[in-house]
Structure 1
Amino acid sequence: MSFSPQSRVWVYQSDRKFTSTEENQIIDKLAVFTNQWKAHGNELLATAEIRYGYFIILVVDETQANVTGCSIDSSVRLIKEIEQEYHVDLFNRFNMAYKVNDDVKVTNKEDFETLVNIKQITPDTIVFNNMVLTLEDLNQKWEVPFKNSWHSTVFAHLL
């Protein structure tokens, strides 16, 4: 399946890494959901994946049919079900994700701030911008150096 670069994207970050068993089960749930996801009776061209064991990513190509409030609500219900079933937090926007070498780490805002303060997170540390809105942005602006991210604005006083 080929998706437009302007496809809409939603990124949900877990507060812990999924086990491989959990990841496989969640991918199956996401596949069932995206294969039947509709907006006002129109099938949506959608896909979902898990990256790095932490990030659930939903993609909808609106060239076929536009996402509606009801269809977004149904995806949020699914994500909330996954949260409850696997005892994870997927909606806490104060959890920050970053890379150490190629290993993803997730921490709360306060601990992230401490890591910036003690220079364990540097201007070149890769951080994740989960606020990307399109597939193009996901591919180009999701994993960025701290110095080029919104994080650097929030934590600028520590640099």
Structure 2
Amino acid sequence: MQQDWKNLLPADFAENARVWVYQSNRPFSEKEHKEIEEQLYHFYSQWQSHGEPVKGWAGILFNRFIVMMADETDTHVSGCSTDSSVRIIKSLERQYSINLFDRMSITFLVKDQAEMLPFQQIQYAIDKGYINADTLVFNNIVNTKQELLEKWLVPLHDSWMASRVKTTA
């Protein structure tokens, strides 16, 4: 599963295409997944910046993350067009009673499943053996397609959290 997600990204987008990752506080049901992807498609197929079409894409990865991407090769994404993307995300939050802006929870890939933990419980999870230094963590602060491909899923020991937790006895 962890390698398949890369094939879902648009291959024709520049490596420096801008990326936004929104993490849901819970997995989506099959029905929600389909409905959300339809709404995202409707949004990005009509996305504009100062009247010019934005080459955009959005999708759901690992049944928990909404990833938006804008290739600015031809059209720069303005503040107003970025605001419009945030509006659709906030609308999805209201419609589906989800939280997509919680930055205090961290998601790990455990047995090919995206599992979320509150930041304050990570050390406990390490101490109990639920996760370890090699467990993959989702780095949702990636900014480009290249970073998404190379730095979104990294082992805990290579992540920004490495200095904040103790992974060895």
Quote how far apart the aligned CAs of 1:101 are: 1.6
**1:58 equivalenced with 2:68 (yes/no):** yes
How many residues are matched? 158
* Whole-Å separation in 1 of the counterparts to 2:18 and 2:159: 20
Partner of 2:13: 3
* Whole-Å separation in 2 of the counterparts to 1:145 and 1:158: 12
TM-score (normalizing by structure 1)? 0.95
Does the Cα contact within 8 Å between 1:15 and 1:107 map onto a contact in 2?
Answer: no
Partner of 2:27: 17
Q: SS state of the match for residue 56, structure 1?
A: strand
* Whole-Å separation in 1 of the counterparts to 2:123 and 2:26: 19
Partner of 2:117: 107
TM-score (normalizing by structure 2)? 0.89
Q: SS state of the match for residue 6, structure 1?
A: coil
Counting only pairs closer than 5 Å after superposition, residues 85-124 of structure 1 correspond to structure 2 as 85-124=95-134
Q: SS state of the match for residue 33, structure 2?
A: helix
Could you list the runs of 5+ residues in structure 1 that have no partner in the other structure?
A: none
Quote how far apart the aligned CAs of 1:68 are: 0.8
Could you list the runs of 5+ residues in structure 2 that have no partner in the other structure?
A: 1-9
Q: SS state of the match for residue 161, structure 2?
A: helix
Q: SS state of the match for residue 147, structure 1?
A: helix
**Match for residue 149 of structure 2 among 139, 145, 155:** 139
- Structure 1 moving runs of 4+ over 3 Å: none
